[in-house]
Structure 1
């Protein structure tokens, strides 16, 4: 398996695959982001892969095709050069907002000869259900192979000769300049209806399918050309990544495409991020608004209302499956060694059981920000937002797990209180659109009570800063959210002191750790510091920090959750929505601070 930063990201807005610089697809979960893997070498050497690469030693360079998630890798040997193009296929002819609505679940690969002649090797080695099941390949019509194992049926079509060998298909072939070879690997459930047996796109010409998929992505990007601010290219790439992490049928956005990539190599902090956190979806919508891609707002709130059902007096669940599933119970896959020996490998995430009080504020922040895109709130959305405001007013004084999802004793985290303040502040601002059950006067009294409590108890004289929890002296980088949420101005003397304390105590270069003792720099915290510096008028300094953070992305502009300050290695699940959200918002904040564009309604 390769280092995390070596991977490129493929998506059909339903499932995701990762392909490394050596031409190996080491991760594909299908038909949903959170489905068991077909290729899982990312987490164990024996859990399946699909390698397509020169037989001799080679070097590689790569980039996405235009504004798409179609990846083109140029491989050079002493004898010549080829280009390998990879994608998860879209439904033929899908364009604009329709991309990813009915994906055919087909991995597309093509080899083009560029110079000389290159001998290529191909090894297709699926290991289904996270490596538990070995498929048996059977020849079909000419150029086609089929395999069924457990609940999965695969169909591979190729215009090169292949040989089966204990669950694998192998082949060698030569590509000369001007020649092309294509491969299509299609998934269907083993017991699909007859009409599903040959997915749309499986029988299409492979090269045409790749071209059509690139055009589908470009058509989506062309609908959102509006952002003209600083770091436009990076913002555009990050918005495409966020779209690729969106389960298009529901509008839910997953936190990352992977499970159990470690926060520390060889460590135990390995979590499944293939679910939709309300926090992440709300922040993603805010970032897409900045990037002039706000069209998902209606669908998100429709999904959210359906996932939550009747809120009532129950604590708000913080995360769901992409179709609104509630039970995400966690278990370990003991048969997998983990990425670079990082165990356990986990499927599911028990954080779904936690109380996290910040979530209500993040959802109401997004509703307020996107109010013009949403239009008139339906009665269902009105009821939902009122219920969230009421819950923030009722529960703000309780301890919780905090936004970093501590599995220890609940505490009175400062940002949890502040985001309850945000929930009520934005609900008051939306009161005339929330129907007859809105209670702005009651909400205002509680909002003011929360503010007074935070200002009185979050400040630590010993730390000379606002602390991570009420009555504590310990710093937490989440405090950087206070000016970003409008709770305090960045140039407030105590807020300035807090920003400086975070820089002094929690930063390694431009990487900001969440707390003292955290193992690596957390990228969204680092981008929050950029925003705070920009809001405080220190724009040149903020720009330098942003530029150095942007260099932490891999060669394709992809970011994980964390970065090892000593080695620069990307760590944690990948690609990470949170980190790309942070990049977009920091770029926008720098743009606004220099007067190039203004989005005053952000706060």
Structure 2
């Protein structure tokens, strides 16, 4: 089984697919040609499921960074005899002066290895295992490369050094001296496409430089945030961009599947899909961190992916990155999981749950990005208005809530608040949606929701808003109430809820749990870590309440868990402070961006 810490990985992406590279220069996760495709390398989940490593063949130390304003990874290996620098990227294309990343990508993982001083012996191991490790492919030598054929995959490894092949593994050793640079590449196609090919060293060098330039052009054009933690916020914007699927406008929740919420537990989910909630919140965070110019693509994707929405049918809460509806969950029993955390799942059974909060996040994003939606078509207008109608119709129903509990549906407070948000934003968007005739009805129902939440969601004995109507349990999602404007953050009930979360729903390090896991509520066994998004929500709510000092302290507490290349997973292990859950997790970076922005607004208000 895999035991490498989650924080030891870094992400590279071409906005079609993603790879995770370990601190020791091993690609331990790669899915071609899409984020949700079966993996080629999956050592992340099982030592036998494939990897591709390049590193010194002698004792060494490693340090890493992303090249300035890019998602191109640079790892420096220091040895007693010399220094190596390994640069990794999934190659991207750009058009229109850097407006779009990932256009016309070649489905190619490029790796540049340079010796900057001395001389260093190098070892590389190439062990592809397509279809989540099920296939040991046939490896064959070709000039300057190795072909790999198995299942639906046709892979060609470009290698400037000859590999010894045996048992579906290629191994090579060589020495680099100061000033020498070599390029490797892994090119992929399906059997139906033009076969993958070996790339010349000059081609790889040129395409890698073009990729670096494309990321920098995009960053320079889009990233204007200039508040506190500027560099980190900009980096999070690039991470969120890296988790978006260029061909459709979809956005994945994370790049991985089945990294656990608790070591050895069953809370292991596939996050390589587009949740309406997560993607909408990502679009809002990009408004802060990256000035997105692809809002039309995103809303067009959802309009296409969710046809025939009416009040008799709720909006499906998640889709494949190509708009697929059926994401049926299955278990991969041959994989042992990260640190023995089983089962390993692909697909996600939440796809057919009812979660009525999604209308709120979606219309809130449309409201935030309204200036970019002048060109939306009538189908998209109808879709967004239908979302408001459906929220108005279904807000009284029980659902599985934001946390996708697999227990019984309940009247979750957060879901009701987000139905209120959907109607509140739809009213303001009525002109854009050409739905002025519905405003009176939307306003009436919006006000009904508000009264009901205040009456049924407040628990006098607990002294806070609680998880669902009639509950005594706290839930960090209620911190969103002031963030969406349901109540002012300085309302006494809101202040009491903020204090209750900070006092009763945090661990010793001051990080926030979503809720206290109970089998009766979520239908699952075992515990989970603290949730980074919820901790950033706490910072955000405190900032809105005018408590800037407390907000900054909470923010820095959570932001302190970024790994050495600025990435966050979903959760933190309360016992040891280790990152847990799928990685990198969009939710965590969204929370960081929005909390930083809220704190910057407080600072500006104070300064004024």
Settle same-fold status: TM greater than 0.5: yes
Instruction: Give the TM-score taking structure 2 as reference length.
Output: 0.95
State the partner residue of 2:512. Answer: 512
Stretch deviating more after TM superposition (219-228 or 148-157): 219-228
> Equivalents in 1 of 2:371, 2:341: separation in Å?
46
Query: Aligned ranges for residues 98-497 of structure 1 at < 5 Å?
Result: 98-140=100-142, 142-192=143-193, 196-198=194-196, 205-312=203-310, 313-436=312-435, 438-497=437-496
What is the DSSP-based 3-state SS (H/G/I as helix, E as strand, rest coil) of the residue aligned with 1:259? coil
C-alpha distance in 1, partners of 2:198/2:165? 26
**Equivalent position to 2:18, from 16, 19, 25:** 16
SS at structure 2 position matched to 1:514: coil
Flag the 1:377–1:162 CA change in 2: closer, same or farther, 3 A. closer
Measure how far apart 1:225 and its partner are: 3.0
Query: 1:222 deviation in Å?
Result: 1.2
C-alpha RMSD of matched pairs (Å): 1.6
Q: Which residue of 2 aligns with 1:558?
A: 567
Work out the CA distance in 2 between the residues paired with 1:179 and 1:432.
Answer: 62
2:596 to 566, 574, 587: 587
> Structure 2 stretches of 5 or more lacking a match?
518-526
Residue 59 (str. 1) matches residue 48 (str. 2): no
Match of 1:43 in 2: 45
In structure 2, how many angstroms separate the alpha carbons of the residues matched to 1:62 and 1:31? 26
- In the TM superposition, what is the alpha-carbon distance from 1:291 to its structure 2 partner? 1.6
Cα offset for 1:480? Answer: 0.3
Aligned to 1:340, what secondary structure does the other structure show?
Answer: coil
Q: How many angstroms does 1:181 deviate by? A: 1.5
Alpha carbons 1:256, 1:574 under 8 Å: kept: yes
Change (3 A) 1:556 1:519: same
Alpha-carbon shift at residue 144 of structure 1 (Å): 1.8
Counterparts of 1:225 and 1:322 in 2: how far apart (Å)? 25
Q: Distance in 1 between matches of 2:366 and 2:197?
A: 38
Deviation per residue, 1:102-149 (Å, 9 max, x gap): 211111111110121110000000001000101111122x21221211
**Is the 8 Å Cα contact of residues 360 and 420 (structure 2) preserved in structure 1?**
yes
1:536 to 536, 545, 555: 545
Whole-angstrom CA distance in 2 between matches of 1:204 and 1:299: 35
| Stretch of structure 1 that moved more, 494-503 or 225-234 | 225-234
Cα shift readout 1:428-462 (whole Å, capped 9, x = no counterpart): 11112222574110111111111110000101112
CA distance 1:91–1:428, shift in 2 (3 Å): closer
Q: Quote how far apart the aligned CAs of 1:537 are.
A: 1.1
C-alpha offsets along residues 87-115 of structure 1, whole Å, 9 cap, x if unaligned? 11124888513321221111111111012
Partner of 1:601: none
Contact 2:28 2:51 in 1 (8 A): yes
Q: Secondary structure at the match of 1:9?
A: strand
* In structure 1, distance between residues paired with 2:588 and 2:247: 24
- Alignment check: 8 A CA contact 1:591 1:597 kept: no
Q: Matches of 1:149 and 1:33 in 2, distance apart?
A: 20
Question: Which residues of structure 1 form unaligned runs of 5+?
Answer: 599-603
1:455 aligned counterpart, secondary structure:
helix
Q: 1:363 to 1:178 in 2, by over 3 A?
A: same
Q: Secondary structure at the match of 1:220?
A: helix
Greater shift in the superposed pair: 529-538 or 374-383: 374-383
Task: Give me the whole-angstrom Cα distance separating, in 1, the residues matched to 2:368 and 2:421.
Answer: 12
> 2-side partners of 1:235 and 1:570: how far apart?
20
Deviation of 1:535 (Å)? 0.9
CA distance in 2, matches of 1:275, 1:18: 17
User: C-alpha offsets along residues 335-384 of structure 1, whole Å, 9 cap, x if unaligned?
Assistant: 10011100000000010000001000111111111111111542111111
Shift of 1:214: 0.9
Moved more, 284-293 or 428-437: 428-437
**Post-superposition CA distance 1:183-235 (Å, at most 9, x none):** 1110110232xxx3247977853222222111111111111132111111011
Indicate conservation of the 8 Å contact 2:289/2:593, yes or no.
yes
Using the TM superposition, name which of 343-352 and 97-106 deviates more. 97-106
Superposition misfits of 4+ residues, deviation over 6 angstroms:
199-203
Q: Which residue of structure 1 aligns with residue 520 of structure 2?
A: none
SS of aligned partner of 2:184: strand
Task: Report the equivalent of 1:546.
Answer: 555
Distance 1:246 1:166 in 2: 36
The 3 A distance-change label for structure 1 pair 199 and 389 is farther
1:92–1:200 CA contact under 8 A, matched in 2: no
Residue in structure 1 matched with residue 523 of structure 2 by the alignment: none
Q: Number of paired residues?
A: 594
Q: Deviations over 1:571-593 (max 9, x none)?
A: 00000001000000001000001
For the residue of structure 2 that corresponds to 1:512, the secondary structure is coil
Aligned-residue offset at 1:385? 1.3
Q: Give the corresponding residue for 2:522.
A: none
Counterpart pick for 1:31 among 1, 17, 33 = 33
TM-superposition CA deviations, 1:253-308 (whole Å, max 9, x none): 00000000000011110000000000011100100111242212111011110001
Contact 2:53-2:124 within 8 A present in 1 as well? yes
Higher mean displacement: 143-152 or 351-360? 143-152
Contact 2:157 2:198 in 1 (8 A): no
Range 485-494 or range 304-313, more displaced: 304-313
What TM-score does the superposition give when structure 1 sets the normalisation length? Answer: 0.96
Are the aligned partners of 1:113 and 1:175 in contact in 2 as well (CA < 8 Å)?
A: yes
